[in-house]
Amino acid sequence: MAAGDYNAVRDAIRKIIPQASYDDGSAGPVLVRLAWHASGTYDKASGTGGSNGATMRFKLEAGDEANNGLEYARKYLDPVKKQFPWISYADLWTLAGVVAIEYMGGPKVDWKPGRVDDADVQYVPPNGRLPDATKGEDHIRSVFYRMGFNDQEIVALSGAHNLGRCHAERSGFEGPWVPMPTRFSNTYFKLLLRSQWIKRKNSVGVEQYTDEDNELMMLPTDMALVKDPKFRAWVEKYSDDKDAFYRDFAAAFGKLLELGVVRGPEGKAMRQYARAKL
């Protein structure tokens, strides 16, 4: 297989998405979460963090409790890395998110290769840069503004909670947000607005919001999107207009994967300069 044949890598990723004995039969959602957490450590002010360098290879970052469970995603991708040793982990993890979104019926997200795995453990950004689901709108804004996103992009990105589920043993929360968690759609926004959400303690004693039948759930941070009027306006928009959501999600997710990615020799120099600020 020729080095640089990203279509062959895409095919191989598609083949590992169906996983009969995992979650809802799909590795898709956890692959999306891996791409997001690999990228979402970015800090615009210092230029540190982000997907380039694949710093989640190191225990220091993999062990951030926000990353619990992502070892499954990395493990599912290992055979793909073995098959295509020329692709960097940083490219593989971000590409897998894009392929999974499309596979699950979501929009096509622009993706460019060129990330490198040249970072050593000293490039690992501090733990705690990813959002904490127990918090509210101020916390969400401070985390996403730090990456360079605005309110509209925050809500669009949050629509990824159409996918997958929470696992008590990983985050303390449990259950899926929507009835079909392996199909990309705007159901999450519709449910946020239309269902009665009841604050309840789950089986491990953590407070979350559930529907009347205790089948679906929302995190405190999800509820903040309907409580805060500026966020809510975008929830309403994306609930009514699926095309706008797909378009805006694709743009924001593409932007997320590019945070801090400077290619070529300048990139290396920029990362070394930023690292000094960690």
Q: Binding of ligand HEM at residue 158 (CB under 6 A)?
A: yes
Q: Binding of ligand HEM at residue 36 (CB under 6 A)?
A: yes
Among 42, 93, 123, 173, binds ligand HEM (CB under 6 A): 173
Q: Binding of ligand HEM at residue 188 (CB under 6 A)?
A: no
Q: Which residue has the tokens 């985050």?
A: 171
**Interface residues for ligand HEM in 212-231 (CB under 6 A)?**
219, 221
Q: Binding of ligand HEM at residue 129 (CB under 6 A)?
A: no
Q: Binding of ligand HEM at residue 140 (CB under 6 A)?
A: yes
Q: Interface with ligand HEM by CB under 6 A: which range of 145-153, 160-168, 236-244, 267-275? A: 160-168
**Distances from the Cα of 268 to the Cα of 90, 95, 112, 264, 273, angstroms:** 14, 21, 17, 7, 9
Q: Which structure tokens are listed for 255?
A: 């932007």
Terminal-to-terminal C-alpha distance of the chain:
39
Among 14, 44, 112, 167, binds ligand HEM (CB under 6 A): 167
Catalytic (active site) residue 177: yes
Catalytic (active site) residue 167: no
For residue 119, the minimal CB distance to ligand HEM (Å) is 22
Among 54, 80, 95, 133, binds ligand HEM (CB under 6 A): 133
Task: Judge contact between 53 and 124, C-beta under 8 A.
Answer: no
Q: Binding of ligand HEM at residue 166 (CB under 6 A)?
A: yes
Q: Binding of ligand HEM at residue 235 (CB under 6 A)?
A: no
CA max distance for the chain: 56
Among all residues, whose Cβ is closest to ligand HEM? 164
Q: Binding of ligand HEM at residue 165 (CB under 6 A)?
A: yes
Q: Binding of ligand HEM at residue 246 (CB under 6 A)?
A: no
- Interface residues with ligand HEM (CB under 6 A) are 29-30, 32-33, 36, 69, 131, 133, 140, 157-158, 160-161, 163-167, 170-171, 173, 219, 221, 253
List the catalytic residues. 37, 177
